[in-house]
Amino acid sequence: MTAVAIPVADRFLKPVVDAEIRETAVPFIGFAEPKGSKYADIRAALPGIQAGAPYLYKPGTGYVAMNPAKMHVVEGVQFFVEYGADGATPVTVTRTDPGSFKSPLKEAIFGVAVAYTPDGLVPAAVSFRTTKAPAAHAALKALRDCADATAWGNKSPDFRETLRIPVPFARFTATVTTRAKTGKGSGQQYYAASADIKPTTPAEAKMIGAALASPDFMATFNAVIAAHDAQVKKLTDMVK
C-alpha cells in the first residue's frame, strides 16, 4: 500500500475517544428500532430493512440502506443518559456508569463516522445507545489501538500496511451488524449491535484519501463535526 496523500488535521491525529443527533441538517446513522417514532417511515423508504438494522439518513435524499453497514469511526464520546417520555429528550446526564441495568440512566455513545454507501463515502453523525454500545466500544478500542504503531503493526501484515495512512481513523473499518436477542429478565426482544474490525484495504485507502481531499466532502464533514460538538456540549452542560 502506498502512502495516501491526504490533509492531516490535528484533530484527526488526536481523535476524541472518551456519542443521537436528531437534527436533520447533517447526515446521520441510526438504527431501525420497531419502537422508534420513525420506524414506519424507515420501513416505507427501505422495505427490505431488518428490524434493528443500521441505516443512513441524508438530508435532501432520505433514508439509505447500509448493507453492509461499513464505516470509519472518527471519534466518540460516552455518556449515561436518562431520556424523557418521548425517548429522545435527555433529562439527566452523567459520565459515570450507574452500575445497574435497572437504572434509568442508559449508555449512549455519540460519534462521528464516515459511512460506505453505494454512492460513495458519506460523513455522518452516529449514536450507539444501550444495546448498540458494544459496537462503538469495539470501534473506539481499535481507534485507540491504531495509534500504537508497534502493537497495531504486530496484528498482521495487513494491519501493518495501514500505518502508511497518516490519519488513524482511516486505518480500519468497522462493519456494524445487529441481531435480535431476548432479555433474560423481561422476556422482551431487543437488538444488540457488534462491530467487525478490519484493516483498511488499499482500495478503501484510496477512497478515503480522495474523499478527504474533496471540498464537497469536507464541507459536509465539517458540518457533521460541528453538529456533533454541539450535541456533546449540550450533554456535557447537563452532566451532574
Distance CA 53, CA 178 (A): 6
Report pTM. 0.86
pLDDT recorded at residue 20: 43
Task: Flag residues of the chain having pLDDT under 70.
Answer: 1-24
Q: What is the CA radius of gyration of the chain?
A: 18
Q: What whole-number distance in Å separates Cα of residue 17 and Cα of residue 13?
A: 12
Residue 19 pLDDT: 39
Residue 239 is classified by DSSP as: B
Q: Which of these, 181, 208, 204, 176, lies nearest to 192 by C-alpha position?
A: 181
Rounded Cα distance between 35 and 142, Å, is 31
Q: What is the model's pLDDT at position 86?
A: 83
Q: Which pLDDT score is estimated for 68? A: 83
Q: What are 139's three cell numbers? A: 470501534
Contact between residue 66 and residue 78 where contact means Cβ atoms under 8 Å apart? no
Please spell the DSSP secondary structure of 8-68, one letter per residue. Answer: --HHHHS--B------SSS-EEEE--TTSTTHHHHHHH-TTPPTT-EEEEETTTEEEE-SS
